[in-house]
Amino acid sequence: MKLSLLFRALLFGVSASTVHARPGPSKSYTEIYRPQYHFTPAKNWMNDPNGLVYDADEGVYHLYFQYSPSGPKWGALSWGHATSKDLMHWTEQPVALLARGFPGNVTEMFFSGTVVIDEANTSGFGRKGKVPWVAMYTSYYPVEQVLPSGKHVLKDVQAQSIAYSLDKGMTWTTYDAQNPVIAEPPTPYQDLYKEFRDPGIFWHKETQHWVALVSLATQHKVLIYTSQNLKHWDFASEFGPVNAVGGVWECPNIFPLSLDGKKTKWVLVLGLNPGGPPGTVGSGTQYVVGDFNGTTFTADANSIYDGSGPEDSVIFEDFEGDATFAARGWTATGDLANASPAKGTLAGQNPVTGFQGQQLLNTFIDGDATTGTLTSAPFDISHKYINFLVGGGSNVNETAIRLKVDGRTVHTSTGSNSESLAWQTWDVSKLQGQSALIEIIDNTTGGWGHINVDQISFSNTRATSTIANWLDWGPDFYAALGWNGLPQGQRTIIAWMNNWQYAQNIPTDPWRSAMTVPRHLALKTIDNKATLVQEPAGKWKSLTNHGRAFTFRKVESVRDLGRIGKTLELELKFSSDRASSSEKAEFGVSVAATRDYSHETRVGYDFSTQQVFVDRTRSGDTSFDGTFAGVYSAPLAPSSDGTVSLRILVDWSSVEVFGGEGEATITSQIFPAQNAVYGRLFSTGGKTADVKLRVREVRSTWR
């Protein structure tokens, strides 16, 4: 049987990767940390959502996803599959595209991509009146080989391929006769074939052609292609780099939305890893608003940041002018002893980008062979943040910029193995008035053995919050993607609720990673800018009970709510009117707390900075990654009636906060103890007035 299948596959050039056992009947889904109303696969590893498509005839939402059939770690990447009629109850389906060769030696993995319904059968894959669905994905080839199409690929090539389904997305046939259909990046980028991925495809009605966005990850570029038949693609234009470039760009996708219900704008969504939102470490998601004419994306001027950093910056060092480092007041050792700042790119180096003015510190002087240290003169910390641009090597022990107080290193940053400098910020608000110094080290001669630094400056604003439009300000929101096939103008997205920084180490078993709740998007003018606002999609009411309502004229210190449960929707509204105080003025709610509050996740509002925040420093198990315990903030102005509103979704291992109208969202995983079912309100630095809270329990969607 096996042999004859293989024989058929060889004969007809179709992939044998179509028939797989369905994952067993819906498991109980009661393991510790198992999300109760967020999608998780029954077992194994998951990352990005892929191929989201809505089958309007059947009323079925399809969710494909990056999936490892081999266990709870990234590997043998395949497309998992799940379906839902309401975006809340999901049924896991058989694997849609299984890594070629699995469980033996894998010769092709199916990386991220998207699915369209080819109604007009432009691809010709349709037969007997059956409408073909076409998936475009990145083929990742871990070994050099000659493909069934006769094309030769080198080891580690990433190229774009297609597959089709004639049974509404349940089984797929790879287009082996021609794959990959985009074999390499266009001139002059051909040598970047290892960083070329994640096609986002859709039908552009106005110009009547298919469009694919493909990421040229390390260049922070999106390549735009067009096609009449999904098989032959023409390179049309490129976009980027803009805004946040602290890591690779991945999973680009673009969609139209009406601004304030009026004219149509286009929203480009980009994954960024690392270099995510302020205060996070690892991956994040940004968006850019503009216009798209079928071949070219043009960003709105006010959706782009010029990269110059906050306006209130006081420059400490910009490396401009003729003086050597030593003459500028730095103690310079090793090869840097008599050296000076560089005029941009140095001999033998790829182009250095993202610095300000004419010069920067660039230790590629004698190539990577250069080593040495620069130590600044001591200075008193006078502002909340130290901002700087950094690029180059990523090893914290080898090429780094550090802040030292009393001889102790209190902050360290590096580049991300890239010649493009990106803003980084150290929060020094707790070190006010202390004497500090900055040390820049390069003590390695190997690959990426250099560092690039510029614009070291003091400010009360984080540079990192003014460089991008963040789709979510939390640490666990990545590779966001919208459903194709929804009625015009309607946009629902979902994202991977994890972070490459620690994704493989989160303490869940036998699955790893969840999706966020699906979110409905709209585009509104807020603060003179086209801004995405989000709310949970689907019929929420059907999942929740009526809940308990609390009203307090004033809350001071803490107010216990008792046992509130573990799967919750909270709506919290309060007055933003607070007398100034010397203590930090915060108000919010602790959730997923133990009875003694030794563990809790604090969701609140900082009145002085006007930011909503999630504090997971004491949220439970944070031990698996040194950066996991953190506080994440998003700017949120009070609404015109002077109140602040927060909607908070709590599940067994996550918190999602929607602030205001949904313009500020923070998505964060937490791993609380099983008995962390308590909650309380807190108000620090004074009383908070007119507090209204509703607490609803959310039912499990798995039982």
Q: Which residues bind ligand FRU (CB under 6 A)?
A: 47-48, 66, 77, 111-112, 138, 197-198, 250-251, 271, 479
CB of 688 to ligand FRU, least distance (A): 39
Nearer to ligand FRU, 48 or 317 (CB): 48
- Cα dihedral 256/259/265/271 (nearest 10): -70
Can you tell me the distance from the alpha carbon of 687 to that of 554, in angstroms, rounded to the nearest whole number?
6
CB of 222 to ligand FRU, least distance (A): 13
Type of residue found at 537 = A
Tokens at 382, concatenated: 């006078």
Nearer to ligand FRU, 139 or 688 (CB): 139
Sheet harboring 196-204: ordered strands across?
196-204, 209-216, 221-227, 234-239
Nearer to ligand FRU, 137 or 330 (CB): 137
400: enclosing H helix or E strand: strand 399-405
Nearer to ligand FRU, 70 or 643 (CB): 70
Can you tell me the distance from the alpha carbon of 101 to that of 103, in angstroms, rounded to the nearest whole number?
6
Nearer to ligand FRU, 47 or 420 (CB): 47
Beta strands in 217-344 (DSSP E): 221-227, 234-239, 248-258, 264-273, 284-292, 297-299, 314-317, 331-332
Give, in order, the Cα–Cα distances in Å from 412 to each of 32, 404, 448, 460, 626: 35, 9, 17, 19, 13
Pairing mode, if any, of strands 492-496 and 511-512?
A: unpaired
Which residue in 640, 639, 560, 655 sits closest to 604, CA to CA? 655
Nearer to ligand FRU, 158 or 375 (CB): 158
Nearer to ligand FRU, 193 or 550 (CB): 193
CB of 143 to ligand FRU, least distance (A): 17
Can you tell me the distance from the alpha carbon of 37 to that of 516, in angstroms, rounded to the nearest whole number?
9
CB of 657 to ligand FRU, least distance (A): 23
The answer to whether the beta carbons of residues 589 and 572 sit under 8 Å apart is yes
CB of 183 to ligand FRU, least distance (A): 17
CB of 504 to ligand FRU, least distance (A): 12
Which residue in 228, 302, 271 sits closest to 66, CA to CA? 271
Can you tell me the distance from the alpha carbon of 63 to that of 481, in angstroms, rounded to the nearest whole number?
10
Catalytic choice (48, 318, 476, 606): 48
- Cα dihedral 622/50/220/397 (nearest 10): 30
The answer to whether the beta carbons of residues 540 and 667 sit under 8 Å apart is no
Exposure b/e, 388-402, CB count within 10 A at least 16 = b = bbbbbbbbeebbbbb
- Hey, which residues does 459 pair with through a beta bridge? 385
CB of 413 to ligand FRU, least distance (A): 23
Nearer to ligand FRU, 176 or 250 (CB): 250
Which residues, 6 or more positions from 529, have their beta carbon under 8 angstroms from its beta carbon?
302, 303
CA-based torsion, 422, 426, 429, 431: positive or negative = negative
CB of 140 to ligand FRU, least distance (A): 7
Chain-centre distance of CA 229, in angstroms? 31
Based on the residue annotation, tell me whether 527 is a catalytic residue of this protein: no
Three-state secondary structure readout of 147-166? CCCCCEECCCEEEEEEEEEC
CB of 484 to ligand FRU, least distance (A): 18
The answer to whether the beta carbons of residues 296 and 507 sit under 8 Å apart is no
- Cα dihedral 665/667/668/672 (nearest 10): 100
Nearer to ligand FRU, 101 or 565 (CB): 101
Nearer to ligand FRU, 198 or 368 (CB): 198
CB of 112 to ligand FRU, least distance (A): 3
The catalytic residues are 48
